[in-house]
Amino acid sequence: MEQYEIFSILDSVDSTNNYAMAQVRAGLASHGRAWFAHNQTAGKGQRGKGWQSNPGDNILLSILIKPSERTDPNRFIFNAAIALTCIRFLHSLTTISFNIKWPNDIYWNDRKAGGILIENIIQGNQWKWSVIGIGINVNQTLFTSITGNPVSLKNITGRSFDTIALAKLLHTTILESIDQNKMSPVKIMQDYNSLLYKKDVEIQLRKNNVVFKTYIKEVDEFGRLLTHDEINRSFISGEVEWIIP
């Protein structure tokens, strides 16, 4: 359990993921090490998008993981397991149901409560490290950005939370989930798809400036979004953009 206590608090940083990556490059990496920031000046989201957060109001956390022989070599299975752990963690805090918007956003109803960005270090064909970046809107109630229609735990529950205590508990929960590794890949994908945002619902996507309607079927074990309309379609992360009304 000693590694679960390796938790550092940063006042301000460009990005906790960048900071964690720099530790790897400097030879200072260790499994389970986590960095929490009160403020990020250049937070990172999916597809190069920024992540906005009021200083001190939210969870801005990166956890460094060294895959073991027990880690499933399929990196999307790993991503899906982390997303499920975060969803279950939030449900345990609030008793409220959340969904996963493909590939790794955390949604409540039609509003974005958080996001996960996992960056991997691969050398040759070896998966050396993963940096799990997690942003969760906790106490912030007003948002300058309307991207994703953001919402916080305080917006949802009316309660304020201790962000550092919450981040430490999430850190421990994720490490325990990784180290125990009790779920099969099939079960992970079943659970991921059971929580998939807009599953079996018609949505609009944009690809190469063309907007079209399609129905979400599921996400496969390689992280591809499967949809259907007149034809069956398959998309990798970053290939299409959601059009949210």
- CB neighbourhood size of 120 (10 A): 14
Q: Is 76 or 2 the better-scoring residue by pLDDT? A: 76
pLDDT surpasses 90 at 63: yes
Query: Is residue 50 pLDDT above 90, yes or no?
Result: no
Which residue spans of the chain are classified as CATH 3.30.930.10? 2-194
pLDDT at 5: 53
- 75-94 vs 163-180: helix crossing angle, rounded to 10: 130
Q: Give domain 2-194's CATH superfamily.
A: Bira Bifunctional Protein; Domain 2 (3.30.930.10)
* Mean pLDDT calculated for residue range 75-83: 95
pLDDT for 1:
38
pLDDT band at 4 (very low <50, low <70, confident <90, very high): very low
Region 55-74 average pLDDT: 90
Q: Give the whole-angstrom CA distance, residue 85 versus residue 89.
A: 6
When the pLDDT of each residue in the chain is averaged and rounded to a whole number, the result is 91
131 φ/ψ angles, rounded to the nearest 5 degrees: -110, 115
Q: Are strands 105-108 and 111-123 parallel, antiparallel or unpaired?
A: antiparallel
Least confident of 36-50, 83-97, 113-127, 206-220: 36-50
**Residues 215 and 203: beta-carbon distance below 8 Å:** yes
| Strand, helix or coil for residue 17 | helix
Query: Rounded mean pLDDT of 34-54?
Result: 73
Which secondary structure element, helix H or strand E, spans residue 178, and what is its range? helix 163-180
> Is residue 73 within 8 Å of residue 221, measured between CB atoms?
no
* Mean pLDDT of the region 83-100: 96
Residues 6+ apart with CB under 8 A from 38: 9, 10, 11, 12, 55, 56, 60
Residue 33: pLDDT over 60: yes
Amino acid identity at 34: A
**What does the pLDDT read at residue 3?**
45
The yes-or-no verdict on residue 54 having pLDDT over 90 is no
CATH number of the 202-243 domain: 2.30.30
- pTM, whole model, 2 decimals? 0.91
Across 49-77, average pLDDT: 85
**Residue 72 — very low, low, confident or very high, per pLDDT cuts 50/70/90?**
confident
Using alpha carbons, list the distances in angstroms from residue 213 to 47, 121, 201, 228, 239: 21, 36, 10, 9, 15
Residues 105/115, Cβ–Cβ less than 8 Å: yes
212, β-bridge pairs: 205
Chain segment 116-168, per-residue pLDDT in tens: 999 999 988 899 999 999 999 999 999 886 666 899 999 999 999 999 999 99
Assigned token pair, 168: 């430490």
The H or E element that residue 126 is part of is strand 126-136
pLDDT for the residue 70:
73
* Percent residues over pLDDT 90 in the chain: 80
Q: Which residues of the chain form CATH 2.30.30?
A: 202-243
Residue 239 CA to residue 244 CA, distance in Å, equals: 16
Chain position carrying tokens 């325990």: 176
